[in-house]
Structure 1
Amino acid sequence: MAHETHDDELAALRGADPVPADHPRFHDRPLPAHAERQLNQLLYSAHGPQSARGARRRPVRQVRRLVWGIEMVSLAVAAALALVLAGSSSAPAAAAPHPLTLTAGSEPLSLGRIADRAATAASADGAPRLRRGTHVLTWSLAVRSGSGAAPITLPEERVTRWRADGSHTELVVATDPRHPGKPVIADGDEGPRTVRDGKVLSDRTYPPSRGTAPPQSRPPHTPRRLSTYLAALSRPSDPAPLTGTGELLDAVAMFLRHWTPGARETAALTRLLADADGLRPAGAVTDRLGRPGQAYVYETDGLRRMLILNPVRGTVLGLEDTLTKNDRAYGVEAGDVMSYSAWMR
C-alpha cells in the first residue's frame, strides 16, 4: 500500500518533541473572506475536473477544517467524547499547542538578507529542485462557544506524491509527534473519535490531472511572475494582484499544499516576502519539529501570524496564527494559538 512507503518519515516525526504539552484554548468562528476563497479553490480545482469525477469528494466540513485549521465540535459530541476518554486507561494527547517562543537575545535577520541568502543557495550546484506534492504536519483544535469543553487536538500528517503519468496519491495519518505511541483524536463524519497513533485516515490514489491553471500549472521562479501565479491560485475567478500581506501569506500557505518549492522558487518567494508591508523580523525560533528558524510576524484584525523560515536557504518551515484579543464567547484569550502547519521536504 502507498502508506507503507512513508514509514521512515512518520517514524522520524514521532521521535521529535515539537511542542510543550500546555492547554491554552483555541478558537472557532466563521471563515473570513480570504479563507472562503481558499475553500472555493479547494472545492473547485484542488484536483481538477478529471480527478473530481474519479474520486469521492471530501465533505465540505472536513475541507473547511483543512483551510482554517479548526472544526466546530457540537456540545453533544464533546460531552460524549469526554465520557469515553474519562474511562480510558491511555488518554489521548489533547493538549493545545503552546505559542512558539523566540530565542532570548537572538538577532533578527531582515527578510532582505534572507532573500539574498536564498538567491545564493539557488545558484549553487545541486540546489533542491521544485517538486509537485507536499509533506505537512498540522495541529488543529476545536471548541464550541459556551460549551465549557476542553479544547481537542486534531493532529494530522499529510503526504501527497505525484507520478509521471499525472496521477497522485494522498496519505493522511493521525499522529502527534509530541506524544509518540499515544492515542490521538481524529475527525470523522460523525464527530471526533479516538484512534491509535499512526492510524491511516485515508490513502487515496487520484487519476491523472493536467490542468493549465494554478495549482496544476508549474509555478514560475521569478518574483513578478510568481506573484501573478499566487494571485491566480488565491482567486481563480478574479486573479487581480494580491492586495496585502495577509493575502500573500494565505496564498503562500495554499501554494505549499500543492508544491514543494525548489531553490529558485524559494528565492523568488523570499523576495516577495521581503517586499511585503508589515512583515517584521522577530528573531530566532525553534519550530515544532525542532528545526532552527527565523520568525517574521504580521499582525492584523486581532491575529498574529508568525512565518518561520530556514535562516540559510529561506525555505518555509511553518506558519502559526495566534490571537491577540480576548473572546469571551469562545473562552479564548490573547496569546492562544489558532492553528499551526509545519512543512517538510
Structure 2
Amino acid sequence: MRAVDEVRQLLGGLDPAQNAGPAEDGRREQDLARILASDRGGGAARGAVPRRRSVLAAAGVLVVAAVSGGVATEMSRRPRPAYAVTPAILSFGSPASAEPAGIRLRSLAAVAAAQTMPPRPAGTVEHLESVNWFLNFSTSGGRTVSAVVPQQWQSWRTDDDAGRMIKRDLSPVFRSDADRRQWQKWGGRVTSSEEVHDYPAGGFFSRFRGAVPADAAVLRGWLEAGTSANQAPVQYLEDIAQLAGMRLLNPAQRAATLRLLADLPGMTVTGTVTDRAGRIGEAFSITTDAHGLPAKHTVIVDPRSGALLGYEEMLTTTAGSLNVTTPAVISYRSYLTAEYAAVPR
C-alpha cells in the first residue's frame, strides 16, 4: 500500500474516477492559473527519445520495456493472460461546436495567437513540469508482468540549450502482490527513484533546438528535419505532444502547433473532457495502426488559451502480446507548469 499512497500523494486527482477534496481543488486551480498566465509545457524526458516504435522479441529472457512512444507489437512467446492495471478511460462529452476538427482547431489557434506573453523576469529560463504514466512490462519464460509507473518530470532550459532535467519515478503499482514479487525477482525496481541531469550549452536536447517556428508550414518542416520522408500524420501529433513537454511556447508558436494539427488527415473531434488534472478541455484524435497496433492518439486543448493540456494513447481493439484489456490507455502526459523561472541551486 505504500506505493499506492505515494502515487496518490503525487497524482492527487489525476484519476477522473476519484473524488476530489478541497485541497486537491485548490492545487488544480493553481496549476490551471499557472498554465493560463504563461505558456504551457511538460512531457518528454530523456535526451534521445525514439520517434518510431520498436519490435521486441523475448525468448525465455527478461525484457523490460516502457511504452512511452514505443508499443511492443510482437513477441516470440505469448504471455499468460494476467491483465495489467491501466488508468481509467476519460469520459468525453459533446463537442463544443459542430465544426469539423480542422476548422475548430484553427479557431483555437486564433484564441492562442490572441494571448499575451507575460514579461520574462531577469535571470529566468524555460521551466516545464508534467506528470506522466506509461505502461511498463517485463516478460520471461512466456509470462508477462506489467506495472503502473507514474512519473514527475521537471526541466529548466537556457537560451543556449543548457539546462537541467529531473525525472522522478514513483514506486510501481502492480495488479497483485504476486506480480510485485515476480517483477522484483526478475530484477525490476519496486521503489521510487530520482534522476537529475545537468547539460552543458548545446546539450539539453538533440531535437527542438533554437527558435520554434511560428508558421505552421515552417514548423512542419522543422519537425521533419533529420527524419524519414512520408511519415504518418499521427507522427506530427506525437511530435507536437513531445514539443509541448520540452519547450516553452509563446502564443504565436502555440497557434502554429494547432494549425499544423488542423491540417492533419484523419483528425477528428473527440469532444469536451475534464482532463486528469481536473481542467476542462476540448479533445481531438487520430485513430491509426501506423505504429503496429490500432490506437487512438488524443490531444486535449484548453479552449480559453489554446494551451495543450494533455496527450493520451489508447489501444482500441487489440493489444497484441501486451497483457492489457482493450480499450486501454497505455500512456498519458498531463502538462502542469510552463513558465519562466530560475534554475534551482
**Could you say which TM-score interval applies, normalised by the shorter chain?**
0.5 to 0.7
User: What residue in structure 2 maps to residue 194 of structure 1?
Assistant: 190
The 5-angstrom pairing of residues 1-345 of structure 1 reads 14-20=11-17, 42=48, 65-68=67-70, 95-103=85-93, 107=97, 110-126=101-117, 132=126, 134-144=128-138, 151-163=146-158, 166-175=161-170, 191-195=187-191, 199-209=192-202, 214-232=207-225, 236=226, 238=228, 240=229, 243-301=231-289, 302-327=294-319, 329-344=321-336, 345=338
1:330 is paired with a residue whose SS is coil
Structure 2 unmatched ranges of 5 or more: 1-6, 19-43, 52-62, 78-83, 174-179, 339-345
Letter in 1 for 2:13: A
2:324 is paired with a residue whose SS is coil
Cα distance, 1:332–1:12 mapped onto 2, change above 3 Å:
closer
Contact kept? 1:298, 1:305, Cα under 8 Å: yes
Aligned length: 270
Shift of 1:174: 2.6
TM-score (norm 1): 0.63
Letter in 2 for 1:42: A
CA distance in 1, matches of 2:12, 2:66: 30
Letter in 2 for 1:160: S
Ranked by relative contact order (alpha carbons within 8 Å, sequence separation 6 or more), the top structure is 2
Percentage of pairs with the same residue: 22
1:268 is paired with a residue whose SS is helix
Contact kept? 1:136, 1:159, Cα under 8 Å: yes
Deviates most, 275-284 or 132-141: 132-141
User: What residue in structure 1 maps to residue 3 of structure 2?
Assistant: none
User: What residue in structure 2 maps to residue 181 of structure 1?
Assistant: none
Cα distance, 1:162–1:257 mapped onto 2, change above 3 Å:
same
CA distance in 2, matches of 1:327, 1:165: 42
CA distance in 1, matches of 2:145, 2:213: 44
Letter in 1 for 2:254: T
CA distance in 2, matches of 1:105, 1:253: 21
- Kindly report the root-mean-square deviation, in angstroms, between the aligned alpha carbons of the 2 structures: 4.3
CA distance in 1, matches of 2:210, 2:249: 13
CA distance in 1, matches of 2:334, 2:96: 22
Which has a greater percent of helix?
Answer: 1
TM-score (norm 2): 0.63
1:204 is paired with a residue whose SS is strand
1:193 is paired with a residue whose SS is coil
Cα distance, 1:224–1:112 mapped onto 2, change above 3 Å:
same
Letter in 2 for 1:152: A
CA distance in 2, matches of 1:112, 1:274: 7
CA distance in 1, matches of 2:128, 2:46: 20
Cα distance, 1:124–1:311 mapped onto 2, change above 3 Å:
closer
Deviation by residue 1:154-212 (Cα, 9 ceiling, x = unmatched): 11111110235642111111349x9xxxxxx9x99x843232xxx55112212221799
Contact kept? 1:282, 1:295, Cα under 8 Å: yes
Shift of 1:247: 1.8
Letter in 2 for 1:225: V
Letter in 1 for 2:48: L
Structure 1 unmatched ranges of 5 or more: 1-9, 22-37, 46-60, 76-93, 179-184
Deviation by residue 1:5-38 (Cα, 9 ceiling, x = unmatched): xxxxx999544343437xxxxxxxxxxxxxxxx9
CA distance in 2, matches of 1:279, 1:334: 22
CA distance in 2, matches of 1:200, 1:212: 22
CA distance in 2, matches of 1:221, 1:62: 39
CA distance in 1, matches of 2:250, 2:9: 22
Which has a greater percent of strand?
Answer: 2
Letter in 2 for 1:136: S
CA distance in 1, matches of 2:325, 2:335: 27
Contact kept? 1:303, 1:324, Cα under 8 Å: yes
Contact kept? 2:86, 2:330, Cα under 8 Å: no
CA distance in 2, matches of 1:323, 1:44: 19
Q: Which runs of 4+ in 1 moved over 6 A?
A: 38-41, 61-64, 210-213
Cα distance, 1:156–1:224 mapped onto 2, change above 3 Å:
same
CA distance in 2, matches of 1:250, 1:99: 19
Contact kept? 2:66, 2:134, Cα under 8 Å: no
